Amino acid sequence: MRILVSGSTGLIGSALVPVLKAAGHEVSGLVRGVPSALKGEVHWSPTAGKLDTAPIEETEVVIHLAGESVAGRWSEEKKRKILESRVKGTTLLSETIARLMPLPQTLLCASAIGMYGDRGEETLAENSKPGQGFLAEVCQQWEAATEVACGHGIRAVFLRFGVVLSSQGGALKKMLLPFKLGLGGKIGGGQQYMSWIDIDDATGAIVHAMEKTSLEGPINVVAPNPVTNLEFTKTLGKLLGRPTILPMPAFGARLAFGEMADELLLASQRVAPKKLQQSGYSFKYADLEASLRHVLGK
């Protein structure tokens, strides 16, 4: 198939594109810089509202992964970039592909389990109500920005990603140095749930959602066994052979990271991949230790 991917050089996109190409698909990446014709890249500018339809004609599947990183302290400017990068980019892409003839069959749009907010020990499935907070609001607007494409009959799937485990980037890469130095420890009380997914299962779930045409709407892209922050800390420390005795108290996390600490580090999200499992997806790494061994080469 002809597949268009935004965010093709990001953590998930850079792992996904080789998988798609190996399966024989023709993949074009949307880039904000100068596009490489050799790589089949297509220029777009979400901020300027520019995306030429000519290079993407006859696209059958659109996989939209682009968005401003949520890592780091959130200033008002950072929050604006997080929201606008998702809403403006998705709106532009949705409106553009709705004008293509023939229409693409499928739009797979990234989203996040931040949709659910801080929910303690509650088990969250795709039909759970949205939570409170900045990220929950971002995710709701992000998914709603596909409205034009959906209105034209394009099948839309919202990939609600948990924490993607990879040594190449994301949260795990940021954790590795302090943990290797013996400076790792639980955050806050450590009882907050963390819903994670191995990078190979993240890409596998995307391909599954692309091929399983009965799937639509939100899909929780998480492993079936979420863990508490304390469990994650102990498992990572064990595999690295380092102690994990230096906790970061909640007030310290808030002091260092502000609002981001409450929504990403201290929030509890116990999320189940109900629709993935019901549709027959088989996880390669359902267990945290097995996943960490895989991504760390242990």
Question: Is 2-296 in CATH node 3.40.50.720?
Answer: yes
For residue 264, the model assigns a pLDDT of 93
Q: What pLDDT does 217 receive?
A: 97
Tens of pLDDT, residue by residue, the chain (298 residues): 999 999 999 999 999 999 999 999 999 999 998 888 888 899 999 999 999 898 999 999 999 999 999 988 999 999 999 999 999 999 999 999 999 999 999 999 999 999 999 999 999 999 999 999 999 999 999 999 999 999 999 999 999 999 999 999 999 999 999 999 999 999 999 999 999 999 999 999 999 999 999 999 999 999 999 999 999 999 999 999 999 999 999 999 999 899 999 999 999 999 999 999 999 999 999 999 999 999 999 9
Distance, in Å, from the CA atom of 28 to the CA atom of 21, rounded to the nearest integer, reads 10
* Strand 61-64 versus strand 217-221 pairing type: unpaired
Query: Which parts of 11-133 fold into alpha helices (H)?
Result: 11-22, 76-97
- Give me the residue spans of the domains in the chain: 2-296
b/e for 40-49, b at 16 or more Cβ within 10 A? bbbebebeee
Task: Please give the pLDDT value at position 263.
Answer: 94
User: In sequence order, what E strands does the chain have?
Assistant: 2-6, 26-31, 42-45, 50-51, 61-64, 106-112, 123-124, 155-161, 163-165, 193-194, 196-198, 217-221, 227-228, 270-271
Q: Can you read off the two tokens belonging to residue 39?
A: 């790589």
Gap between the Cα atoms of 211 and 208, Å rounded: 5
Predicted TM-score (pTM) of the model is: 0.96
At residue 220, φ and ψ (nearest 5 deg) are -80, 115
Contact (CB, 8 A) for 27 and 5: yes
